[in-house]
Amino acid sequence: MANIDYFLISLKEDFFPDSILNNYHSGIPQSDLSGGEELYIDITHPDVVQGEKLQTWNKKTGPVILVSNIPITRKACENLRGFNYEIVSVLNIEHRIKQRELIAEENQSNFVSVPLGDPRGQIREGVCINKAAAIYGRKETGVLFLKSGKIKKAIYFYQGIPVDIRSNKKGDLLGNMLVDDGVINQKQAAESHQLAEKENILQGEALIQMGVINEKERDEALDRQWAIKIIETFNWKEGEYIFKKEEVEKPERKLPYTIYEIIYNGIELLSQGLLSAFLNQTHPYYVFPNSSVYLRYQPLPNELDFNVFTRINGKITMEELLNTIKSKEEKNMLTALILCGAVVLSYEPLEYAFNFGGIPINDKESFDLVDNLKKVLREDRNHTIDKRFVESQLREIHPDYYLHMDEKYFEKARELFDKLAREKNFPPVSLRNLVSLKLGWNL
């Protein structure tokens, strides 16, 4: 974990809560530091009025956080952010320090902007989608248990990817879903359920035996069922969750949708007020891609206007970026990228521009994983890989594609992915400048 030095400054002895006074420094530092230091200063302190020391600190190491013991208006916060300062209530200072420490736990060369958070808690609007996105961003393996009323679900994550989901909800049964889709009728669903129990087989196999659907229709239905059962939880507004890190078996087949498609479609279920409130919070911050190529190089849905995402380069604020976006779909995908940590928010711009790499891949239906990997490996052996196409190749051999395949393919894909990723050096980033935001009214 990175060591963060907190400088707490006030002329009033009882200004800061006793619980955070155990590990702090007094006085404004006189030398340049770069280990994630932060200065919390009483807004009524004389040095705030003079400003010279604060400006020097904020410019060279920062950030300076002004602390108030009176209510803070939203307008005051926005005005201060325009001067590259932040203001917080003394009542919220413990929460803010805790968030900074969670961010600092990540390795700087492979950082994730959204911490996993508490392993258990109450479900409110936005909580389930936050958890799924953070689990992916951190490549966690384990089970997310969800309960809302009488409904219980368990989503199994393998290296951050949801690979299986189990549910006690009757509507999640394959037969019931096919009835809702108009593919079969209620009688056929009941008969297939009885046959499945009698023969000890899955309901999809029973429907095939009955001649109601074929294997292709069964597989397509299973893919939809898998996605719907996960996405439906993102709309839950009450209940409980527990995430347990434990062993989970790798998937046996190629997963039908990428994590970004799952998160993106789940965002559609959330209220527009919640989404607008989230994006409004992001306005003052600079936006750039994560230094982790695993997160940065992602295939996005082809129907999106990718020109929006090419502007993510660390040199513009979210407000400037959002002013160029008219489509709700692009805003939703941008939200998904922030939640997963593929796109990062910062108090400061990057030293030099560095573009996001998640360009859409065309002809997704005809995309062959093994053939494509062999092609790129062949080019690599022959030293014919053109650096102009490195980013395209990174997207096409992303390790997420190979989770279900023989270990030799997965290892080769990851090895080549890491090798190509070193072609571009990411500009230095200070952990102290990262901003952690989540969806939710009271998070």
Residues 77 and 153 in one domain: no
| Total domains, the chain | 2
Among 245, 271, 303, the domain-final residue is 245
Q: Which helix (H) or strand (E) holds 244?
A: strand 240-245
Q: Which of 419, 410, 424, 426 is nearest to 383 (CA)?
A: 419
Q: Is the pLDDT of residue 390 over 60?
A: yes
Residues 67 and 149 in one domain: no
State how far the Cα of 193 lies from the Cα of 175, in Å rounded to an integer.
8
Mean confidence (pLDDT) of the chain: 79
Question: DSSP state, 234?
Answer: G
- Residues 152 and 236 placed together within one structural domain of the fold: yes
Give the pTM: 0.72
> Do the beta carbons of residue 413 and residue 397 sit within 8 Å?
yes
The answer to whether 39 touches 88, Cβ cutoff 8 Å, is no
Q: Is residue 273 part of a domain?
A: no
Q: Are strands 151-158 and 161-167 parallel, antiparallel or unpaired?
A: antiparallel
Query: pLDDT for 420-434, tens place per residue?
Result: 666 667 787 766 678
User: Does one domain contain both 131 and 233?
Assistant: yes
- Alpha-helix residue ranges (DSSP H) falling in 82-118: 93-104
In which domain, by residue range, is 148 found?
120-245
Q: In angstroms, rounded to a whole number, what is the distance separating the alpha carbons of residues 132 and 233?
A: 10
Q: From 22, 25, 23, 31, select the one nearest 10 (Cα to Cα).
A: 25
Q: Where are the alpha helices (DSSP H) in 120-214?
A: 127-137, 174-180, 186-199, 203-209
Highest mean pLDDT (candidates 111-115, 206-210, 343-347): 343-347
For the segment 268-288, the average pLDDT, to the nearest whole number, is 92
Residues 98 and 186 in one domain: no
Tell me: the pLDDT tens digits for 2-11? Answer: 455 678 888 8
Rounded Cα gap, residues 419 and 184, in angstroms: 49
Q: Is residue 419 part of a domain?
A: no
Spatial neighbors of 203 by CB under 8 A, at least 6 apart, are 173, 174, 175, 192, 193, 196
Rounded to whole angstroms, how far apart are CA atoms 149 and 153? 11
What is the pLDDT at residue 2? 46
For the chain, what percent of residues have pLDDT higher than 90? Answer: 22
Q: Is residue 341 part of a domain?
A: no
Q: Same domain, yes or no, for 16 and 92?
A: yes
- Residue 249: name the closest of 142, 154, 146, 153 by CA: 142
The answer to whether residues 139 and 99 belong to one domain is no
Q: Per this entry, what is the length of the chain?
A: 443
Question: Is residue 290 included in any domain, yes or no?
Answer: no
Pairing state of beta strands 64-68 and 38-42? parallel
Rounded CA separation 392/297 (Å): 9
Q: Are residues 149 and 227 in the same domain?
A: yes
- Label residue 151 by pLDDT band (50, 70, 90): very high
Any domain includes 346: no
**Cβ atoms of residues 119 and 242 within 8 Å:** yes
Amino acid at 45: H
Dihedral sign computed on CA atoms, order 338, 339, 345, 350: negative
Q: Are residues 131 and 63 in the same domain?
A: no
Q: Is residue 109 part of a domain?
A: no
Asked if residue 226 and residue 177 are part of one domain, the reply reads yes
Answer for the pair 278, 420: CB distance below 8 angstroms, yes or no: no
Question: Of 191, 213, 245, which one is at a domain's C-terminal end?
Answer: 245
**Measured distance CA(9)–CA(50) in Å, rounded:** 15
Which of residues 214, 245, 276 is at a domain's end?
A: 245
Query: 15 and 84: one domain?
Result: yes
Q: Answer yes or no: is pLDDT of 138 > 60.
A: yes
Q: Does 226 reside within a domain?
A: yes
Residue 365 placed within a domain: no
Top pLDDT among 424 and 64 is at: 64
Q: Are 180 and 228 in contact (CB under 8 A)?
A: no
Query: Is the domain of 55 the same as that of 146?
Result: no
- The amino acid present at 147, given as its one-letter code, is K
Q: CA-CA distance, 93 to 16, in Å (whole number)? A: 9
Rg (CA), the chain: 25
Six token digits for residue 2: 């990175």
Distance, in Å, from the CA atom of 243 to the CA atom of 205, rounded to the nearest integer, reads 32
Contact yes or no for 442/126 (Cβ under 8 A): no
What is the tens place of the pLDDT at every residue in 75-128?
Answer: 666 556 555 677 888 888 877 777 666 555 544 456 776 778 889 999 999 999
